[in-house]
Structure 1
Amino acid sequence: MNITERFKFFTQKADNIVISTHIIPDADGIGSEIALCLALRSQGKNAICVNEEPLLERYRYLDPDNTVISRSEYMSFYAEAEIDLFIVTDTNSLERIGDGMKAIALTAPSLLFIDHHPCPKEVMEENCIDTSKAATGELAGELIQSLGIPLNREMALPLYTAILIDTSSFRYPTVTGNTHRLIGSLMDTGVRPPHAYNMIYGTKKLTYMKLLGKVLASAHTTKDEKVAWLTLTEDLLEKFHVDTEDTLAFINHLLVLDNIKVALMFREMGAEIKVSLRSIGTVDVGIMARALGGGGHDHSAAAIIKGTLDSVIKTTVDKLHEMLLMTEAKELAKGHS
């Protein structure tokens, strides 16, 4: 059974469907769940999106029909409702959707992950997971089309935004002709790229520009310039009154550097440091992130490490630079063999 057949099998036999995504959701998870919910409702399904926390105000424009509610709202109004199918978008682990949502998911007789992140083979074989897709939104769009459901603008804007965000405006190597063909279909519904871009990235305050300048001024590289990194402290976020969500793309500014192979951003989160990793596609940063206890794609990944900013930066940069040099040495040896 392929992915589209599996999706049809699970959704056709279900009437009451709950769709969720990971905690601290991004536009890919949110856009995918909204579009899937609207598509399934168009088939007469009783579908609803339920996340651990309420939808952030910055994403409200993607959900004019209020398909997304919080777990607390669900427990207040739907606690006794029967669930036939529980769908999770943009992750393949129940541990990532929050303890409360996990408890709800475990009451459903059927569970289906719709995702594009790497996972064990046995998980992939039982769900709708395709790591070749540029975004979960791309997969969600194709699954909707596989049911013969016409895309409308209400579905298309969340999907377009999902793909836009998860590809850093279509710059990652996972973007394919099929990605753009789906984008064409989404635009045919009336989605306008300038509007979609401005709505998700938003117009910025001067404080945002000043913070970006401050963070870029913290840029460092290894001597060979193959690894570059930025730092973002809690003090800076507080001083400039900038939402953390607005800083996620800061790291992409490093990808234009000469000789760059791996870009890093270290962000303080209390006693932990979030390490974001990016590459231009020639280095698998997913493997590097897993070596740090995290995970992700070959071009975009992350890990969370306990420790002080200075200590985490030093140990992480040293470790990843060594991994990079070892990988390059192996590739060079292959070329000479």
Structure 2
Amino acid sequence: MRILELHDLREFLSSPKKVVITNHINPDGDAMGSALGLQHYLEKSGHQVSVVIPNDPADFLKWLPGAESTVSADYHTAQAERLFSEAEVVFCLDYNAIGRAGELIAPMIESSEARKVLIDHHREPESWPDDMYSDIAKGSTCEMIYDLIEMWDGQADVGEAIATCLYVGIVTDSGSFRFPSTKPSTHKAAAFLLERGARPELIHERIYDVNTKSRMKLLGHLLDTMQFVEDRDIAILHLTKEVMNKVGYTKGDSEGFVNYGLSMKGMRMSVFFREDGDVCKCSFRSKGELDVNHFARKYFNGGGHLNAAGGLFHGNAEEAITAVREAIEKENI
């Protein structure tokens, strides 16, 4: 389903405005790429633009053009509040529910008198924004920003910085172009961004060739302790606080771990739990028509896409594994 309700937004932006762009908590490549890509585009039109993020991204995303100027709300809360209070328009990127902006930024969005614009590709978007561009058929918000620029300006203003940021989000959210959401339009967008200066070899190196010793040790433990729901072709992976502390876990070390379960021959679904304080962060991946968005929403306080979703479980990894096994039986997946 595609929702395009931008009303007179293009006309509204025809004169310089104070703009805030924000994304979801623990911003990934698509969240950071879309926010920074849109920032560079709007700045070319004379707007005063600030990117306010809920918390810092993983280190492998901090090289993106403009990343050094972002305002992290968990470190600079007062500055973030001031920017939201002064904003004339707020762009909310790569999330469908205001709670995904985090406990610091969500209230800032709600209290802001700015015009609020949601651009996102996740299912079942909430209805609070003034303007909305939602398209669940798209594989990334970065591709949607590309489409928006094309719609408004015919891509005339896309330079190397914009191309790099948007290419990063398209590559990471498409699983390097292997997920079902990858369409001919995805490759057309990527090809154009390469023409405008995105360097795939450099981007791949900075995104994927960044394994740390702690990540490799965690991966070894993860694979060694992998469990299976044998009669369902489902893999379950987990990391405990004890193991992460032992190897010196750093933010981003577990990025993409959920995909290892799904990479095994015959697997239909992969589940990954990572202990974080008193809760477990949950990731779900699937193949075909197995709907992990519905599964995550119903049982794990989350959601996302048909074949990729996230969630939250209140308890430790052992309890989460018991809960997911019970839910799998109940749903007869």
The TM-score with structure 2 as length reference comes to: 0.88
Partner of 1:196: 203
Cα distance in 2, alignment partners of residues 119 and 78 from structure 1: 28
C-alpha deviation, 1:124, in angstroms: 8.5
1:58 CA drift (Å):
3.4
Question: What residue is the counterpart of 1:60 in the other structure?
Answer: 62
3-state SS, counterpart of residue 79 of structure 1 = helix
For residues 166-181 of structure 1, what are the structure 2 equivalents within 5 Å? 166-181=173-188
C-alpha RMSD of the superposition: 2.6
Instruction: Name which of 37, 47, 50 aligns with 1:45.
Output: 47
Amino acid at match of 2:185: N
Aligned to 1:181, the other structure's residue is in SS state: helix
Determine the C-alpha separation between the residues in 2 that align with 1:232 and 1:9: 49
CA 1:10–1:102: 2 relative to 1, 3 Å: farther
2:117 counterpart of 1:139: no
Larger Rg: 1
The answer to whether the Cα contact below 8 Å between 2:39 and 2:51 also exists between their aligned partners in 1 is: yes
Distance in structure 2 (CA, Å) of the matches to 1:90 and 1:31: 10
- Aligned partner of 1:331 in structure 2 is none
Q: Confirm whether residue 152 of structure 1 aligns to residue 159 of structure 2.
A: yes
Asked whether the equivalents of residues 59 and 252 of structure 2 are also in contact (C-alpha less than 8 Å), the reply is no
Contact 1:22/1:98, CA 8 A, preserved across alignment: yes
Q: Gapped runs of 5+ residues in structure 1?
A: 326-337
Identical aligned pairs, as a percentage?
26
**Structure 2, gaps ≥5 residues long:** none
Q: Is the 8 A contact 1:16 1:85 kept in 2?
A: yes
| CA spacing shift, 1:220–1:184, aligned 2, 3 Å | same
2:305 is equivalent to residue 301 of structure 1: no
Mark the CA change 1:6 to 1:62 in structure 2 (over 3 Å): closer, same or farther. farther
Query: In the alignment, is the contact (CA less than 8 A) between 2:30 and 2:168 conserved in 1?
Result: yes
- Aligned equivalents of 2:230 and 2:118: distance in 1? 43
2:134 matched to which residue of 1? 129
Match of 1:118 in 2: 123
**Larger deviation: 184-193 or 97-106?**
97-106
Over 3 Å counting, the alpha-carbon distance change for 1:118 and 1:78 in structure 2 is: closer
Q: Does residue 1:230 correspond to 2:232, yes or no?
A: no
Query: 2: CA distance between counterparts of 1:6 and 1:260?
Result: 47
Q: 1:289 is paired with a residue of what secondary structure?
A: helix
Contact 2:258 2:272 in 1 (8 A): yes
Question: Aligned to 2:35, which of 8, 33, 36?
Answer: 33
1:81-96, aligned counterparts within 5 Å? 82-96=86-100
Cα shift at 1:65: 7.0
More helix by share: 1
Task: Tell me: CA distance 1:56–1:245, structure 2 relative to 1, closer, same or farther (3 Å).
Answer: closer
Question: Once the two structures are superposed, what CA deviation does each residue of 1:191-234 show, in whole Å capped at 9, x if it has no partner?
Answer: 22221111122332344323211101111211225211111111
Q: Which of the residues 23, 27, 32 maps onto 2:25?
A: 23
Q: Once the 2 structures are TM-superposed, how far is the Cα of residue 272 of structure 1 from its aligned partner?
A: 1.4
Aligned length: 325
Give the whole-Å Cα distance in 1 for the aligned partners of 2:28 and 2:67. 19
Secondary structure at the residue paired with 1:180? helix
- Offset at residue 75 of structure 1 (A): 3.7
Match of residue 328 from structure 1 = none
Distance 2:212 2:57 in 1: 22
Describe the SS at the equivalent of 1:247.
coil
Shift of 1:54: 4.9
Post-superposition Cα deviations, 1:61-117, rounded to whole Å, max 9, x if no partner, equal: 103474422346584499387321111111133322234433433323310111111
Give the Cα–Cα distance (whole angstroms) in 1 for the partners of residues 207 and 13 of structure 2.
Answer: 30
Q: Output the CA distance in 2 between the equivalents of 1:90 and 1:189.
A: 23
Return the offset for 1:23.
1.9
Amino acid at match of 1:315: A
More displaced 10-residue stretch of structure 1: 138-147 or 117-126 = 117-126
- Distance, in Å, in 1 between the alignment partners of 2:100 and 2:30 is 15
Q: Deviations over 1:156-200 (max 9, x none)?
A: 111111122212222211111101110001111222222111112
Structure 2 CA distance for partners of 1:188 and 1:34, relative to 1, 3 Å = same
Deviation at 1:123, TM superposition (A): 5.8
Structure 1 pair 224–124 and aligned structure 2 pair: CA distance change class (3 A): farther
Cα deviations across residues 133-166 of structure 1 (Å, max 9, x unaligned)? 1011111111122221431110111111112221
In the TM superposition, 1:203-242 aligns within 5 A as 203-242=210-249
How far off is 1:126 after superposition? 4.2
Counterpart code for 1:96: R
2-structure distance, mates of 1:234, 1:55: 20
